[in-house]
Amino acid sequence: MQHPAAEQTIAWPPYEPGVERVVATFDIRHRDWLFSTSCKEVKDINYELKVANVEGAGTYDKVWFTLGDKDDKEPKQTVVGYGLTAGDIKKGSVGSNEEIVPLSHLKQVAISEEHRWFRPFANTWTFESIIFTATCASSGQKLLMDKYDWIHANLYRVDDTPVWTGDFSAWDWLEVHGK
């Protein structure tokens, strides 16, 4: 027995032989596909952190992040800068460019800030994104981790804990071809 709807043809707009029509569009990003790099260790880790380009998005404070395993006892800090302004794009390297790090060790980025002087109110700033690039230690293949390329979060320091954290895995690193 066949379902009754199987015999019906629904066409909107009306079907015209030989005329192609777009019936749907979808935004497909790399994270919609299941694949990862075969790279096990990386070096030359670089970052690009963006402050949103909106009024009041900057901060007077020192901003830094740690990158690694959230259970690290003494994580290495990478200072992004002091007194970030709206629209700032800060780029730099993480650690020594020759330091080799297992990709499986890179599990979390944690952004922190430190007040530069006492203020009776929290200094809110708008974090837009952070992306990382690296080089595979064995092959020289370039890798990209852009899972957090659009966050747009208002952040402020409440205590000594990070103001924002993002977890990721080796599956989030992509091989970059071209360029």
Q: What is the pLDDT of residues 20-77, one digit of tens each?
A: 877 788 777 655 555 567 899 999 999 999 999 998 888 888 999 999 888 887 888 9
28 domain residue, yes or no: no
Residue 4 located in a structural domain: no
Examine residue 87 and state whether it is found in any structural domain, yes or no: yes
For 154-167, what is the mean pLDDT?
A: 90
The CATH number assigned to the domain holding 113 equals 2.60.60.20
89: in domain: yes
The answer to the question of residue 111 being in a domain is yes
Tokens read off for 165: 């954290």
Does residue 134 sit within a domain? yes
Angle at 58 between CA 89 and CA 117, to 5 degrees: 125
Looking at the domain assignment, is residue 27 inside a domain?
Answer: no
Looking at the whole model, is its pTM more than 0.95?
Answer: no
Which range has highest mean pLDDT (14-18, 19-23, 131-135)?
Answer: 131-135
Question: Does the pLDDT at position 124 exceed 80?
Answer: yes
pLDDT digits (tens, 9 = 90+) for 41-56: 999 999 999 999 998 8
Give the containing element (helix H, strand E) for 79: strand 77-82
CB atoms within 10 A of CB 80: 21
Give the angle subtended at the CA of 93 by the CAs of 68 and 145, to the nearest 5°.
55
Contact call for residues 15 and 151 (beta carbons, < 8 A)? no
Given this model, what pLDDT does residue 61 score? 87
pLDDT at residue 116, rounded to an integer? 65
In a domain, 147, yes or no: yes
Identify the domain containing residue 57 by its residue range.
39-175
For the chain, how many structural domains are there in total? Answer: 1
